[in-house]
Amino acid sequence: MAYNYKLRVKHLVEKASSSNPAVIAEMLSINIRYVDTPNNINGFWKRILRRKFIFVNERLDEWQRMTVISHELGHILLHPHYHHFCSEGRSYFASSRHENEADNFAMCLMDAYGIDPIYSYAFLQNGWR
């Protein structure tokens, strides 16, 4: 399925009145927790008791945290019933199509947030270590 990422991001930004991924998550009632994860895990999302949570590695820089939140928002919004665990660049039970879609969504959202998509793309491709 082809998504119009720019249009989806535009509507989200208008609805939230902000391009900040954390504000958008809050508007969508998604809880964000900054936790101590192993160095090779930057973030993941999980549904717990009908509530959605995004867990982000607390040791990341601010722009990296926002990129991880954007990526996980992409998973939640584009394919909410798809779950996997990503570690050291290896996705277990993960579809590269799903990862690419979440990456594309994150790059559009980070571009709207004012972070160059080149940095977001490089981090998403190489930063899961």
State pTM to two decimals.
Answer: 0.86
pLDDT digit string, tens, across residues 51-108: 999 999 999 999 999 999 999 999 999 987 766 554 444 444 455 888 888 899 999 9
Could you please state the CATH topology (level 3) that the domain comprising 5-126 is classified under: Arc Repressor Mutant, subunit A (1.10.10)
Q: Which of 14, 12, 40, 93 is nearest to 4 (CA)?
A: 12
Q: Could you tell me which of 70, 78, 79 has the C-alpha nearest to residue 114?
A: 70
3-state secondary structure of 57: strand
Whether the Cβ atoms of residue 115 and residue 67 lie closer than 8 Å to each other: yes
pLDDT in tens, 70-81: 999 999 999 877
Going by C-beta distance under 8 Å and a sequence separation of 6 or more, which residues neighbour residue 44? Answer: 54, 55, 72, 85, 86
Mean of the per-residue pLDDT values of the chain: 85
85-87 and 90-92 beta bridge pairing: antiparallel
